[in-house]
Amino acid sequence: MDIDDNEGDDTKDGGGDMISEDNERLQRIRADLVSLTGGKIGGTIGDWELVSIEPVTHLSVRAGYGAARKLSFMQSDVAAILKYDLYISGDFCELCINDHKIQGNTVKDIVSRTSQDGGLSLLYQLISLRPCFGSFGPEVVETVSQALELSGQDSKYHFTVDTNFIGTSSQGRTYAGTVRSLDCVFLAQSRVADRCTACTKLDSLVINRSLLSGEAGIQLANSDSETETGKVNTSKPSHQSVWKLDTTDEQGCSFLCPQVQTFNCSLPHAFDGSAQATTVVHHRVEISDTLKVKLELCGKLVTRDFPQFAADHQLGPLLDRVAGLRLCVGYPAHRLMKQARYILNHVGRMIPEMRKLFKHYSVDEDFVYRIGGEEEIGTIRSTKCKIESEVGSDICAACRTLQQPIEFQ
């Protein structure tokens, strides 16, 4: 009995020593980090800034600043805008990426490996961690948002929309929100990957943003995350659509598909991640009795050829292709738009040389969108707007030129 009691005491003492050792390690790292920042709030170590010292030492990297901007391997022109937060006290060490706590032993293992090398090594290892991007394509996010809204509190889906995620493209597109598996660990499965293992299954989702019915949710519920061989399908999400026959007569017929499109309405030089807006885009396709195709987005004619339809006359692929097009939203920033309206209303008072600067744009009063629950009207477009946006963007090439300086000629 005496031997058993002593053995139990030794085990208990060993556990206490282990806890004490961990606490001492964290205290050394904590003191080292405070020292490296000069012991002052606002002090920096590389990209990290000291936010607080007591009772919890907090260091943070501003969103998208320095190494907190991570390029995607799947889309090389897209970068995630991330925010890293490190919290250390005497008995815990936590890392949050975009306000998501990193679970598991990842952070603990890094602390153990770098404890002898000091706080600088720890910060380098933590900011080198690659986040899980999820599935950030706007069409996928719009589809899943609709499906979750339709299902309400009784959602049966194994994924959700993370609104904290923000990405930017070299083409000027903003990716606000991403779709994540409910099992997402928020870290990529390797240093050369974009996703965790759970989120790789999201490629099986079917894009369907139509407002005509709840079929978007049905498509998602029936989508399978595995192929017939049992392996995860890593191809891009497929695109399907729901259309209604709008008109028909001896001269032809027309099909209509209203869809949700989300975009960021802040200006490129003054990006605001919370300025997410939503508009309903009416896709209309008219097919004449001679099988000629006429396409409109929100009542505006789009000039585009469909050689595949001309060759095989297959209606389904044509409608899915059209449903994948996005409307050019121009520049709907409310304050700038009010200024543009005023200038155009008084352009006759300007001298001829000044008029040349303002003849390249117009205000589209038919464009309607919602932001923060409020309905807004109007956007600034180039007079040569293509109506259809560029691939990977929410504006067309003509409207993009409004960002460039205009020379007097």
Global model pTM greater than 0.85 = no
Residue with tokens 């059209």: 322
| Ramachandran quadrant class, 295 (left: phi over 0; alpha: psi -120 to 50; beta: rest) | beta
> Does 334 score more than 50 pLDDT?
yes
What is the arithmetic mean of pLDDT over 384-398? 91
Task: Give the per-residue pLDDT at 234.
Answer: 42
Pairing of strands 244-249, 238-239: unpaired
Residue with tokens 């080198």: 128
Tell me the C-alpha distance between 202 and 132, whole Å: 12
Tell me the C-alpha distance between 162 and 194, whole Å: 15
Tell me the C-alpha distance between 203 and 226, whole Å: 10
Peptide bond connecting 317 to the previous residue in cis, omega within 30 degrees of 0:
no
Give the C-alpha distances (Å, rounded to integers) separating 45 from 87, 118, 127, 240.
15, 13, 12, 49
- 176-207 per-position pLDDT tens digit: 899 999 999 999 998 889 999 999 888 888 88
- 67-113 per-position pLDDT tens digit: 899 999 988 889 999 999 999 987 889 999 999 999 888 998 898 88
- 301-333 per-position pLDDT tens digit: 999 899 999 999 999 999 999 999 999 999 998
By the 10 Å C-beta count (0-12 exposed, 13-18 middle, 19+ buried), 81 is classed as buried
Task: Give the per-residue pLDDT at 12.
Answer: 44
Pairing of strands 238-239, 206-207: parallel
Cross-sheet strand order for the sheet of 174-181: 69-71, 78-81, 159-169, 174-181
Phi first, then psi: what are they for 368, rounded to 5°?
-125, 135
Closest-CA residue to 276 (of 171, 371, 161, 374)? 371
> Does 172 score more than 90 pLDDT?
no
- 207-266 per-position pLDDT tens digit: 888 888 655 454 554 444 443 333 444 456 778 889 999 999 989 999 999 999 999 888
